[in-house]
Amino acid sequence: MQICQELSLPSMGCGTWAWGNRLLWGYDESMDDQLQAVFNLCVSNGVTLFDTGDSYGTGRLNGRSESLLGQFSQEYLGPGKENICIATKLAAYPWRWTRQSMVSACKSSAKRLGRNVDLVQMHWSTANYAPWQERGLLDGLADLYEQGLVKGVGLSNYGPKRLKRVHQRFAERGVPIATLQVQYSLLSTYPVTELGVKDVCDELGIKLIAYSPLALGLLTGKYSEKGPFPKGIRGLLFRQILPGIRPLLACLREVAQSKNKTVSQVAINWCICKGTIPIPGAKTVEQAKENIGALGWQLDSGEIAELDQAAASTDKKMVQNIFQTR
């Protein structure tokens, strides 16, 4: 399936799965070669939509995530190179509040990437805490499209009500919204089941991108209630959630066994079957191979229903993004 067709953007690459390139804590430059190998494997297997953000790898790393993606795309020489599409999200920093600040931010991203951004996205809405700030940022986002600096624009962490308002405003300028990102997985169905954002996206012709489709690793089947757990806040979260998702993990394992797939592949494929583009991360070749294994097949309606029911019956859910609007 062509991503360019899915997103209504020219030359956007192919695949129904994309790589979410968020550099995590613990990154060091010795990982660069490994990440290049991950990138190469993804593109050679038809995964050519890469999502990042200008806030990933900030501070001393100075926008390292975008810089790395630019480096990887330049050094890759295999099949599919011409289809590589890079999507980035521009952060709604407090010091960004004019339309020009968004244009400048995107130009800085393009400089780090060594190429124009294909899909530029508003990283989050300021409606929950500083609604006055959003007008200028959205105007700048539309300016980028009108000036031909990007092929498409998208939003992230917007609910249906806010999405409709922005869509109407952009439509008045002839600027289509190509995508919307929300936290969506078997442990985070809230944006779709409660907010109804997928229905609105379908109505408006917007493609839904599912970030954190593996719920930070909880849906990989690699963690148990007895540990070991990841370090820091992630580990605390795992300790709280794992006991309450036993039925869901059991259902995932059962479906995975019947499909001769892994738990994480089933969790990613579920997102695809729901009509979204999941963007799981991968820092190793093994993780990339695991994610790629979610492509080329589909869960049947009965299996999807079983997973839906198991997800609905879990005692614990993923914490929602504080910037998610209604």
230-268 tens-digit pLDDT: 889 999 999 999 999 999 999 999 999 999 999 999 999
Average pLDDT on 102-125 reads 97
In this structure, what DSSP letter does residue 188 have? B
First CA to last CA distance, the chain? 31
Among 56, 158, 184, 211, the one annotated catalytic = 56
Check residue 22 and give its pLDDT: 52
pLDDT of residue 63: 81
Q: Residue 209: inside a domain, yes or no?
A: yes
Strand 207-211 and strand 49-53: the pairing is unpaired
pLDDT tops 70 at residue 96: yes
> Is the per-residue pLDDT at 5 higher than 60?
no
Assess if residue 247 is contained within a domain. no
Do the domain assignments include residue 151? yes
Asked if residue 236 belongs to a domain, the reply is: no
14 CB neighbour count, 10 Å cutoff: 18
162, 249 Cβ separation under 8 angstroms: no
Q: pLDDT band at 116, cuts 50/70/90? A: very high
In this prediction, residues 103-121 reach a mean pLDDT of: 97
- The CATH number covering residue 167 comes to 3.20.20.100
In a domain, residue 156? The reply is: yes
The parent domain of residue 84 ranges over: 3-217+263-298
Mean pLDDT of 117-146: 97
Number of domains in the chain: 1
Task: Kindly state the average pLDDT of the residues 8-26.
Answer: 43
Residue 3: is its pLDDT beyond 50? no
Catalytic residue status for 56: yes
Residue 123 lies in a domain: yes
pLDDT at 29 over 70: no
| Residues 125-143, mean pLDDT to the nearest whole number | 96
If you average pLDDT over residues 130-135, what whole number do you get?
95
| Within a domain: 246 | no
Q: Average pLDDT for residues 154-180, to the nearest whole number?
A: 98
For 204, other C-beta atoms within 10 Å of its C-beta total: 16
pLDDT at 225 over 80: yes
**pLDDT given at position 31:** 72
Checking if the pLDDT of 42 tops 60, the result is: yes
Strand ranges across the sheet with 152-156: 19-20, 49-53, 85-90, 119-122, 152-156, 177-183, 207-211, 276-279
Q: What's the rounded mean pLDDT across residues 268-275?
A: 98
Predicted confidence (pLDDT) at residue 11 exceeds the cutoff of 70: no
